[in-house]
Chain A
């Protein structure tokens, strides 16, 4: 155990702050400012803590670090166990990075029940970070479901018109998946007791378990469906546009920025390494769904009249890339996938922030209501532009690195699928630039847009960090790729042991002979 239980501090701090906020009396909104600043303070402290964790992280290690273990329900082998490796490291930092931005972005738009809003945002942060740090499957499951509750309220209370429908759909959909996962978790714990005589929910113990191939299939499917819904992978995505459109800005930022990554994180952390044979069998099918999602999400995004829906469908497309990288299961694919998770958090988070700022001003998200904004709000449009470029993967910004590595890895695995996926590069330019043009270029045709205010100081502080991060991650990707590498190698190596089944290919034979002849998963 680490000298300072930094990971537990990361999990507990936001929740503790949240509970303290509930003690503040705020009947007549007289302490709104105080609550907002306190919540921001807590989330900034959390961010600082996450950076401290990064500083203490040993980038040469593949194993979990800063591990803390305490028995929780010993009779079932349930522990409180947390640890961090190169994959979860940056996801935690991402969650801690986005929460303050999301909080500040809501200062003007959320007037109702400010105290409760701040409470749920911070509670959500605790749960998210718990999900990424859990090493015990039961603990993971608790965080996984706990996270739904604050998000449900955030959408249901502070959302737009159809918020109740969206919130219920969101929760039922994800619950359906997580129930399946719970069954699978309990089954593995049972298998563990059959094999060793005692129950265990310990992730690392599970890795040593030899689950029969046939059983793996069912368990993998149960996990994969739960995660696929969360991602969301085509065709499990229809909850996402509804949830995004109805969610308040902060909810959308966190939903797109962090929550979706739990699906891809789960696939990478649990579904693939725990059931390698099944993963090898199903990977091509998942990859096909991912590629369909890339193209389909982009095409549907293109024709959306609502900006938020457009960004939501673009997430389906972007997350398709992430899943494709994971299914490729080679170093570049997986590193690209993790990188793309971070990118998507930064750039789509920022897109939702910007759309939120526009809708704060005009109370509409319809593209047709805008036009010519570059005349009126040049700073906002400039920020919008950089974020757009980041989202379409312009080299020099973050999106490119992730897409490049994913496509590279995917190409080594299955050139045909990678080539189809690469067409997403064209489509993303189409839908983003078309939207950007309709909103920002041309003359100001709608008189309601004439008096719009440009970014104020608060909003600048919300957008600057995201933009700076987009640039930094595009210019200096090695800063992130290096600490990630050992953990990624470990997962890839484990998947490679399931080699025989890996050769399954769904698409037509590759048009290219790989001269170097690396097996699909050998090079690393």
Chain B
């Protein structure tokens, strides 16, 4: 029963929606968590039955209902579970469940009705996300795709009283809609090319075509779909909504804006791996955009002072890496990183939430410091998350990030690899800047307030988190570490951040990269393996399709010669070194020698300001797109064209007719009936008006 997976959270949503006001917090939070737990169990049992099937024929389909039927277009509401979807449903329900549990404590100070509203949105989000993942065709995926956007809008703007929160929600929705426009039109191009909107049909047909040598319909379709992905997954040029989305409650940032929804774009490309493989030009663009985004977000992340914004830019940057993987054709590596990232990024966000919770809403890391002793659970789990995301060996992030780097290098994308390595270095630096400033050193005293005054978006007291009776933090008194529900979740996620990578240990380290083999059928055209006379595995069949990747076996184990082994190990050493170097740099500037950081910032004041202001991209968009459209619509279209020209012509014609009607009347000889009727109606109207007035 695949339907059960999204249906249970949806029922949870309905219950909290209908009865929320009357339920106690315990019940409404309990209902929401139970719904997620149910979905997790349903997902696990479905995945279990999937695993019982032979590896190349893993798939469960459920046709739920007819939906849109029109002529040759038939879009039934069908769900399909395959290995790729299996990974995603487990991530969404598993991480989702944990974040629901965490939220029961985090949101506890909200009023009862608000509490229920929060959980109803959270459940609704999960339901839509699961539809997105399980949808067997573009339109069904689109239901989830837009639905998660809606929930994101609602949850970012959860504290709707704040102008900045409702602005951020609206911005997220509209920027996402720009991407959705691409998705929608891309869907139409796919249909005109393949006559189907079902993912499997499309993959099957696309698999029979040669990759497009020049920019053609497949390239156009994938390009438009990629536009959709940049919206949902916060890539250049549509990433601008994600940092602002931090206006929402922190668990929301963890669930939606880090672990699940924002990965939808990556997932969608993975879902259409065969299609994208046939559009080398789009793939190249995907890799380029991914790496540019990773670098850009990483540099911004270096100087931000809001704990959640640093994490937001780190998310943008990590998503960029996933797109790099997709772009170089290493789809499994991208999904692998998506999966490990879900653990440590959720952990980091929830850890930051615990800090914010303890500090009564403080989000500015310059006002933190020394929290290590007071918040031990938060500190240690956060540290593990930071180590994992930085790519320190043997933690989950190491395996997945390294896989991406190796695949891009071995695929011949040296430049992409080099920039991605720099982005990884930046990750380690800004993550440990965060760790050191927040948890090490001394608590910033109230006296340092004035030093922050120049800063653009310093957190106002009570920022985000609606505080009631939480003033103890400002007195510098004893802080409370995460309450049990939050602490347990942090610990579970920390364990996951350490261990999750072991499903994908590469062959060169003696592993067998289970996840890549498990995922491989999802990225191959259905039916391709039967046609290959030399019995190529789906993974190899795909490797042939990926340009610049012919020599290297995608399976990542057997075909690679010993020379490649050496190279892979060498690269692994490089990236481990990079991670440690980043931590070292951060330790130098933000632990040992804090003045040095200030001196560097002062030395490069211009660059620092540009980074602090996020390259002025928001300002640029506002000046070049938003304001001109508003101004033209208001001053030109409405006041001049509509009121002046068109309506002026109408009214002018009216007065002209008035004046000329006497003459025209004599000329009008042919159509007496029309004439008589209009006179009659006119008389009725005029008389009638005076009668009834």
Residue numbers of A with Cβ under 8 A of B are 113, 116, 145, 148-149, 152-153, 156-157, 164, 167, 169, 171-173, 175, 179, 182-183, 186, 235, 237-239, 296, 299-300, 302-304, 330-332, 335-336, 372, 374-375, 389, 394-396, 400-401, 404-405, 407-408, 411-412, 415, 418-419, 422-423, 425-426, 429-430, 433-434, 437, 440-443, 476-478, 481-482, 485, 489, 511-516, 523-524
Contacts and interface: CB of A to CB of B under 8 A. Distances in A.
Interface residues of B, number: 67
Contact of B188 (A149, A157, A411): A411
A175 B681 contact: yes
B629 interface: yes
Nearest to B180: A425
A437 B673 CA distance: 53
A396 B143 contact: yes
B409 interface: no
Given A182-B674, A235-B646, A330 B184 contact: no
B181 A511 contact: no
A238 B189 contact: no
B532 to A, nearest CB: 25
B68 A429 contact: no
B642 A372 contact: no
Interface in B162-185: 162-163, 166-167, 170, 173-174, 177-178, 180-181, 184-185
Contacts of A523: 71-72
A183 B67 CA distance: 44
B667 to A, nearest CB: 15
B239 to A, nearest CB: 17
Nearest to B648: A238
Interface stretch (B190-198, B341-349, B455-463, B495-503): B190-198
Nearest to B166: A441
A28 B364 CA distance: 68
Contacts of B216: 513
Contact of A407 (B143, B184, B638): B184
B550 interface: no
B442 interface: no
Q: Interface centre among A149, A157, A394, A426, by most B CB within 10 Å? A: A426
A391 to B, nearest CB: 13
A289 to B, nearest CB: 12
Given A157-B693, A303-B630, A515-B193, A395 B142 contact: yes
Contacts of B212: none
A441 B685 contact: no
A482 B69 CA distance: 8
B71 A404 contact: no
Contacts of A442: 160-163, 166
A423 B177 CA distance: 9
Interface in B320-373: none
A145 B637 contact: no
B139 A116 contact: no
A394 to B, nearest CB: 6
Contact of A524 (B72, B157, B220, B688): B72
Given A182-B674, A426-B174, A442-B161, A394 B146 contact: yes
16 contacts: A149-B688, A152-B688, A172-B654, A186-B673, A238-B646, A299-B637, A302-B629, A303-B634, A372-B161, A375-B161, A395-B143, A411-B192, A419-B185, A437-B170, A511-B220, A512-B193
A156 B693 CA distance: 8
Contacts of B688: 149, 152-153
A407 B188 contact: yes
B66 interface: yes
B671 interface: yes
Given A331-B70, A437-B170, A477-B67, 9 more contacts: A153-B689, A171-B685, A303-B634, A335-B71, A389-B150, A408-B70, A426-B181, A512-B192, A513-B217
Contacts of A375: 161
Contact of A422 (B153, B184, B642, B684): B184
Interface of B: 65-73, 139, 142-143, 145-147, 150, 153, 157, 160-163, 166-167, 170, 173-174, 177-178, 180-181, 184-185, 188-189, 191-195, 216-217, 220, 629-630, 632-634, 637-638, 642, 646-647, 650, 654, 671, 673-674, 677-678, 681, 684-685, 688-689, 692-693
A364 B400 CA distance: 58
B204 to A, nearest CB: 15
Nearest to A421: B185
The 6 closest A-B pairs by CB, nearest first: A331-B71, A303-B634, A441-B166, A411-B188, A299-B633, A238-B647
B181 A422 contact: yes
Given A179-B674, A512-B189, A513-B217, A485 B70 contact: yes
A442 B174 CA distance: 19
Given A152-B685, A434-B170, A513-B217, A405 B181 contact: no
Contacts of A476: 65
A443 B160 CA distance: 8
Given A175-B681, A395-B147, A396-B143, A335 B70 contact: yes
Contacts of B654: 172
Contact of A157 (B189, B193, B637, B692): B692
A175 B646 contact: no
Contacts of A330: 71
Q: Interface centre among B180, B191, B192, B220, by most A CB within 10 Å? A: B192
A179 B157 contact: no
Given A156-B689, A441-B166, A515 B217 contact: yes
Contacts of A389: 150
Interface of chain A: mostly helix, strand, loop or mixed:
helix
A511 B194 CA distance: 16
Given A442-B166, A485-B70, A183 B160 contact: no
A321 to B, nearest CB: 13
Contact of A116 (B177, B677, B692): B692
Contacts of B642: 238, 300
A441 B681 contact: no
A1 B693 CA distance: 44
Nearest to B642: A300
B139 A404 contact: yes
Nearest to B66: A478
A524 B194 CA distance: 16
A336 B177 CA distance: 21
Contact of A425 (B68, B69, B177, B677): B177
B70 A515 contact: no
A165 B654 CA distance: 12
Contacts of B65: 476
A374 B68 contact: no
Q: Interface centre among B163, B166, B216, B630, by most A CB within 10 Å? A: B166
A433 B220 CA distance: 30
Nearest to B117: A378
A239 B649 CA distance: 12
B185 A148 contact: no
Nearest to B647: A238
Contacts of B181: 422-423, 425-426
B117 to A, nearest CB: 9
Contacts of B194: 515
Given A116-B692, A148-B681, A426-B181, A374 B73 contact: no
A375 B143 CA distance: 30
Contacts of B184: 404, 407, 422, 425
Contacts of B650: 169, 173, 238-239
Nearest to A431: B633
Contacts of A372: 161
A389 to B, nearest CB: 7
A332 B70 CA distance: 6
Nearest to A492: B71
Contacts of B693: 156-157
A478 B77 CA distance: 11
Contacts of B646: 235, 237-238
Given A425-B181, A429-B174, A478 B674 contact: no
Contact of B73 (A157, A238, A332, A423): A332
